[in-house]
Chains A and B, each alone.
Chain A
Amino acid sequence: MSIDQETVKHIAHLSRIELQPKELEKLSGQLHDILGFIDKISSLDIDKVEPTSHILPISNVLREDTPHVSLSPEKALENAPSRKGEFFSVPKIIE
């Protein structure tokens, strides 16, 4: 599987990462190698292997529906880059 620069650009956009042309070239090469490495799996016979959705053999981990003590608004907003009253404030985005 190969990866072109357009795909890398798209992924960078989805990840909200800004890449310089030089970085784009470098990363495209690196990603190409990584994908090539992963591609080796397709040479294996995995017909009889169940798909893994979790690496640990555990299931049905649930908690009771009992409330804990939430953070105070002050504590919750402590790391906010910007706030207005008891709200987090962000640049206006309307999709």
Chain B
Amino acid sequence: MNYQTVIGLEVHLQLKTKTKAFCGCAIDFGKAPNSGTCPVCLGFPGTLPVYNKEALNSAIKVALAFNCQIQEHTKFDRKNYFYPDLPKNYQISQFDLPLSRNGHLIIFDQEHQPKRIGITRIHLEEDAGKLIHEADSSLVDFNRTGIPLLEIVSEPDLNSPQEAFDYLSSLKSILEYLDVSDCDMEKGSLRCDANISLRPQGAKELGVKTELKNMNSFKGVKDALTFEVKRQTELLQAGQNWQQETRLWDVQKGITVSMRSKEGAKDYRYFPDPDLAVFIINTPMISKIKAGLPELPQEKMRRFMRDYSLSEPDAKILVSSKNDARFAEDCINRYPGKDKKNIVNWLIGPLLSEANSRKLELHELDLDKNELINLIGFVQRQEISLLSAKTILTRMIDSRKSAQTLITEGNLLQISDTAQLEQVIAAVIRENEKSVADFKAGKTNALMFLVGQVMKKSAGKANPKVVTDLIKRRLV
């Protein structure tokens, strides 16, 4: 039987404000343990939390960027539970009146087809402290306690581990454009839990849900989900039943392990936090924040397609990171030619591979953009070959020398001089009688072979176009 995978993701996002959500403690991750706390975030009786204006602004930006409806009346609730990383014994969160609901974002499948993924809600809450478990005790650092968090809950609209990965990438890209969070899973500024279940293809009812935790990269999320799909498929095929449970991803072993939590259904006894007044978020406030939103990846993609006549896949590559998009657009604008496709091919071809091989992002390449454009000019005027140009690009990034200098140093000027080329061609024709005969018999591949031989003999410096013309003229 075929099964359909159903995945929903829950993302916790730390907002990068200067201070915590409910007190003025500065957020600084380099700090010594328990040096960024105060009576409010330590949960002392009689203290009064007041929410951070900047955090609310950032949260509304995020909600709008994900096409959510903003709740006009929104309030904080207390989520009650005991755990040592939570000094108040409750977390300030939102229950029945979250900041926003009913949003969505778009992901693209391998064939570039868009798919809409629903976002159930985005709400405000606060982070807990950090626990370090030792042999016989646990150590608590409350520096992280009270950092503003957003919880972003997706609908169970994701149908494969790859879609979950794409959702997270798209989410991160938008958040980076908004500049509201570091979005670093390894550092914990973005955390993701996943709910996954399988059901027979076409079934309406959802299967038994498993909650996955402890993934610390997007790849980890994808790997954990891939493992779970396989595990649950095998259980279903063996006709086994199982209970809803939470499982932890073990990255070393590449498996998920049941948490075997003995606690039954959670009873958080949410109630409105009497210390915090409600927010009334009116239309003028929303309009003002909306007007201040930056151009988001998909708008930028459409603009690149329209203004620079780029294909959708090319535009998509260039806009996925905000800084790379800025770098690319700067190059595109400096490029004097009319057909921007020329410079874009360089960006998503040689430049991107230079960046990848250096483990850098495009915008981190130490490159004089005007020299890049000079270099492309040499290729277009057929003064150097494309192959040589790629070599020069590598050297240019290593040395910051100009294109002209590097061409001279490398003696890479292309030979377009017919007299010089004729000699090489004559030799090649002499040495490859069979290919010559093949070409005369109408095999076009033979021509390419002959051109290749000339290129080889000239150490890549012959102008292939001129060579092709010359060979044709001789043989036809």
Interface residues of A (CB under 8 A from B): 10, 14, 16, 53-56, 58-68, 70-73, 76-77, 82, 84-95
Return the contact of B279 from the options A60, A84, A89, A95 (Cβ within 8 A). Answer: A60
Closest to B52 in A: A65
| Sample (7) of A-B pairs whose CB atoms are under 8 Å apart | A53-B278, A54-B276, A60-B280, A63-B51, A76-B37, A89-B140, A90-B140
Q: B269 to chain A: which residues have CB within 8 Å?
A: 14
Q: Which B79-102 residues have C-beta < 8 A from chain A?
A: 80, 82-84, 97
Q: Is the CB of A54 within 8 A of B274?
A: yes
Q: A86 to chain B: which residues have CB within 8 Å?
A: 32-35
Interface size counted on chain B using CB atoms at 8 A: 52
Q: B18 to chain A: which residues have CB within 8 Å?
A: 65-67
Q: State how many angstroms separate the Cβ of A57 from the closest Cβ of chain B.
A: 9
Q: Is the CB of A73 within 8 A of B278?
A: no
Q: Is the CB of B138 within 8 A of A92?
A: yes
Tell me the complex Cα distance, A59–B277, Å. 5
Return the contact of A94 from the options B54, B133, B278 (Cβ within 8 A). Answer: B133
Q: Is the CB of A76 within 8 A of B25?
A: no
Q: Which B125-153 residues have C-beta < 8 A from chain A?
A: 132-134, 136-142
Q: Is the CB of A70 within 8 A of B26?
A: yes
Tell me the complex Cα distance, A59–B263, Å. 38
Q: Which B23-70 residues have C-beta < 8 A from chain A?
A: 23-26, 32-39, 42, 50-56
Q: Is the CB of A87 within 8 A of B140?
A: yes
Q: A90 to chain B: which residues have CB within 8 Å?
A: 84, 137-140
Interface centre among A53, A68, A89, A94 (most CB of B within 10 A): A53
Q: B140 to chain A: which residues have CB within 8 Å?
A: 87-90
Q: State how many angstroms separate the Cβ of B324 from the closest Cβ of chain A.
A: 29
Q: State how many angstroms separate the Cβ of B133 from the closest Cβ of chain A.
A: 6
Return the contact of A62 from the options B25, B52, B75 (Cβ within 8 A). Answer: B52
Tell me the complex Cα distance, A66–B50, Å. 12
Interface of A is mostly: loop
Q: Given A68-B19, A95-B261, 19 more contacts at CB 8 Å?
A: A14-B267, A53-B75, A53-B97, A54-B75, A58-B277, A61-B51, A62-B52, A65-B17, A67-B18, A68-B23, A70-B26, A73-B34, A76-B34, A76-B142, A85-B139, A87-B33, A90-B139, A93-B138, A95-B263
Tell me the complex Cα distance, A82–B51, Å. 31
Tell me the complex Cα distance, A14–B42, Å. 21
Tell me the complex Cα distance, A10–B56, Å. 36
Q: Is the CB of B277 within 8 A of A70?
A: no
Return the contact of A66 from the options B19, B32, B141 (Cβ within 8 A). Answer: B19
Q: Is the CB of B34 within 8 A of A14?
A: no
Q: Is the CB of A92 within 8 A of B52?
A: no
Q: State how many angstroms separate the Cβ of A65 from the closest Cβ of chain B.
A: 4
Tell me the complex Cα distance, A84–B32, Å. 13
A87-B97 contact in complex given A59-B280, A62-B50, A65-B52, C-beta closer than 8 Å: no
Q: A10 to chain B: which residues have CB within 8 Å?
A: 267
Q: A91 to chain B: which residues have CB within 8 Å?
A: 137-138
Closest to B84 in A: A90
Closest to B141 in A: A87
Q: B207 to chain A: which residues have CB within 8 Å?
A: none
Q: State how many angstroms separate the Cβ of A76 from the closest Cβ of chain B.
A: 5
Q: B84 to chain A: which residues have CB within 8 Å?
A: 88, 90, 93
Q: Determine if B272 is an interface residue (Cβ-Cβ < 8 Å).
A: yes
- B371-413 vs A: 1/0 string, CB under 8 Å? 0000000000000000000000000000000000000000000
Tell me the complex Cα distance, A82–B139, Å. 10
Tell me the complex Cα distance, A60–B279, Å. 5
Tell me the complex Cα distance, A17–B276, Å. 27
Q: State how many angstroms separate the Cβ of B187 from the closest Cβ of chain A.
A: 20
Return the contact of B272 from the options A53, A72, A92 (Cβ within 8 A). Answer: A53
Q: State how many angstroms separate the Cβ of A95 from the closest Cβ of chain B.
A: 7
Tell me the complex Cα distance, A93–B262, Å. 13
A67-B26 contact in complex given A54-B278, A88-B140, C-beta closer than 8 Å: yes
Return the contact of B277 from the options A56, A68, A77 (Cβ within 8 A). Answer: A56
Q: State how many angstroms separate the Cβ of A13 from the closest Cβ of chain B.
A: 10
Closest to A63 in B: B50
Q: Is the CB of A67 within 8 A of B38?
A: no
Q: Is the CB of B53 within 8 A of A84?
A: no
Q: Is the CB of B38 within 8 A of A95?
A: no
A64-B137 contact in complex given A14-B267, A87-B132, C-beta closer than 8 Å: no
Q: State how many angstroms separate the Cβ of B32 from the closest Cβ of chain A.
A: 6
Q: State how many angstroms separate the Cβ of B127 from the closest Cβ of chain A.
A: 16
Interface centre among B75, B134, B138 (most CB of A within 10 A): B138
Q: State how many angstroms separate the Cβ of A45 from the closest Cβ of chain B.
A: 23
Q: Is the CB of B35 within 8 A of A61?
A: no
Q: B24 to chain A: which residues have CB within 8 Å?
A: 63, 66-68
Tell me the complex Cα distance, A95–B259, Å. 8
Q: State how many angstroms separate the Cβ of A10 from the closest Cβ of chain B.
A: 8
Q: State how many angstroms separate the Cβ of B366 from the closest Cβ of chain A.
A: 35
Q: Is the CB of A65 within 8 A of B138?
A: no
Q: State how many angstroms separate the Cβ of B35 from the closest Cβ of chain A.
A: 5
Q: Is the CB of B82 within 8 A of A16?
A: yes
Q: Is the CB of A67 within 8 A of B25?
A: yes
Tell me the complex Cα distance, A67–B272, Å. 27
